[in-house]
């Protein structure tokens, strides 16, 4: 049974990926500082694991702490090695992800995201663990005008958060190039992850007022927030609202497992991979589908464009399909349904 370290495994994508890893017979070591999640949420992961199969619980190990703490990371790798269960790969989610905050506090983003990854690589090298899946983002493409964005599109981020992701990708490429017979690295560029686990036990759990549209819609629907502001209805799109490529978090989780298995089973390489559906949905369409699918009201009004937004960003996901045979399976309706189930359970 292979042991995998999941940094930020208590977050939105990390928690769903950890559950799928457990189901696929991996042992999962989660390290999380709770900066963007909670202890209570970790209890939910355990409840879900137990509900799937009580044996899964024995295969999750949790460490509370920050990955910039080299002693903590070393302790995790050392403990596993001493137990004769070496960590064979890392899926690295830990980091900050709010664009607006990154504009106000860029240093904080470089510290948490870049320095955190830097420490992780140092410790991975020391413990001879050289398989890494990095949680990147389509944000690295900035303002690409391509109808479908492929991995070859220019990397040109437009905010500090995006710059940290792009810089980490570059750093990881340097690391790979320095020992290309040793490292296996995949940078997964997510488009817009939404939805939740179909049980409603885990989902996106942002602290405070959400930045992203989907948790915002959910909180309006449940009455926590009065109304949604749609940022602009004068964009150059069919209904004037922005188009995004929303992807179900479980499809995304599956993409991580397939990437990990591909890296573990093949010769060393470095890859950048888009994880999106290739289907564009406008903000207005998303709101309408959410309302119809869940039979709830989401009051909204149009507001000014948000600084830094772009009209349309949709993935060309052909590379992930050809390399991994990965194809997202869940529709936007399922994303809305699963997300709303989670919101109702969570309250």
* Residue nearer to ligand UD1 on the CB measure, 125 or 285: 285
Question: How many other β-carbons are positioned within 10 Å of the β-carbon of residue 181?
Answer: 7
Is 161 part of the annotated catalytic residue set? yes
Contact between residue 196 and residue 203 where contact means Cβ atoms under 8 Å apart: yes
CB of 340 to ligand UD1, least distance (A): 16
Task: Give the shortest CB-327-to-ligand UD1 separation in angstroms.
Answer: 21
- Residue at token pair 């529709």: 331
Q: How many residues does the chain have?
A: 347
C-beta closer to ligand UD1: residue 175 or 230 = 230
Minimal distance, residue 190 CB to ligand UD1, in Å: 7
Q: Which helix (H) or strand (E) holds 217?
A: helix 213-221
Nearest-approach distance from CB 213 to ligand UD1, in angstroms: 4
- Which among 90, 64, 96, 68 has a CA at the least distance from the CA of 77? 90
Residue 12 vs 77, nearer CB to ligand UD1: 12
- What residues contact residue 199 under an 8 Å CB cut-off, 6+ apart? 48, 51
Nearer to ligand UD1, 123 or 196 (CB): 196
Give residue number: closest CB to ligand UD1: 242
Residue 165 beta carbon to ligand UD1: minimum distance, rounded to whole angstroms = 8
Contact yes or no for 115/67 (Cβ under 8 A) = no
- Write down the least CB distance from residue 20 to ligand UD1, Å: 20
Which stretches does DSSP call E strand in the chain?
Answer: 3-7, 27-32, 60-64, 87-92, 131-137, 184-190, 192-194, 228-231, 243-244, 246-248, 270-275, 281-282, 300-303, 312-313
- Residue 333 belongs to what H/E stretch? helix 332-346
Pair of tokens at residue 258: 């397939």
Binding site for ligand UD1 (CB under 6 A): 97, 99, 137, 139, 161-162, 192, 211-213, 216, 228-231, 242, 244, 283, 306, 308-309
Closest to ligand UD1 by CB, 22 vs 213, is 213
Please name the helix (run of DSSP H) or strand (run of DSSP E) that holds residue 105, with its range, or none: none
CA distance 256 to 22: 13
* Nearer CB in complex with ligand UD1: 212/291: 212
Task: Name the catalytic one among 161, 176, 190, 246.
Answer: 161
Burial of 87 (0-12, 13-18, 19+ CB in 10 A): buried
Catalytic residue set: 161
């Amino acid at each position: 049974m292979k042991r995998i370290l999941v940094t930020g495994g208590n977050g939105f994508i990390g928690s769903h990926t950890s559950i799928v890893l457990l189901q696929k017979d991996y042992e999962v070591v989660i390290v999380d500082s709770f900066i963007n999640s909670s202890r209570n949420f970790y209890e939910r992961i355990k409840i879900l694991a137990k509900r799937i199969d009580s044996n899964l619980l024995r295969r999750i190990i949790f460490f509370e702490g920050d990955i910039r703490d080299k002693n903590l990371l070393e302790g995790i790798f050392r403990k596993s090695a001493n137990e004769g269960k070496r960590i064979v790969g890392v899926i690295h989610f830990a980091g900050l992800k709010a664009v607006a905050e990154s504009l106000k506090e860029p240093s904080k983003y470089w510290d948490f995201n870049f320095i955190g990854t830097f420490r992780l690589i140092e410790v991975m090298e020391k413990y001879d663990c050289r398989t890494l899946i990095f949680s990147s983002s389509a944000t690295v493409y900035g303002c690409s005008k391509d109808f479908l964005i492929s991995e070859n599109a220019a990397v040109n981020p437009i905010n500090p958060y995006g710059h940290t992701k792009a810089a980490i990708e570059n750093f990881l490429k340097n690391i790979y190039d320095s020992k290309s017979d040793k490292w296996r690295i995949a940078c997964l560029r997510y488009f817009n992850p939404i939805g939740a686990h179909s049980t409603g036990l885990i989902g996106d759990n942002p602290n405070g007022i959400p930045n992203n549209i989907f948790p915002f819609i959910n909180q309006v629907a449940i009455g926590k927030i009065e109304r949604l502001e749609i940022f602009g209805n004068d964009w150059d799109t069919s209904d004037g609202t922005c188009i995004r490529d929303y992807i179900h978090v479980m499809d995304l989780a599956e993409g991580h497992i397939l990437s990990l298995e591909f890296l573990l089973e093949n010769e060393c390489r470095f890859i950048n991979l888009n994880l999106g559906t290739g289907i564009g949905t406008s903000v207005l369409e998303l709101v309408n589908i959410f309302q119809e699918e869940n039979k709830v009201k989401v009051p909204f009004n149009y507001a000014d464009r948000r600084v830094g937004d772009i009209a349309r960003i949709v993935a060309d996901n052909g590379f992930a399909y050809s390399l991994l045979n990965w194809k997202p399976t869940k529709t936007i309706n399922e994303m809305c349904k699963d997300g709303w189930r989670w919101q109702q359970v969570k309250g």
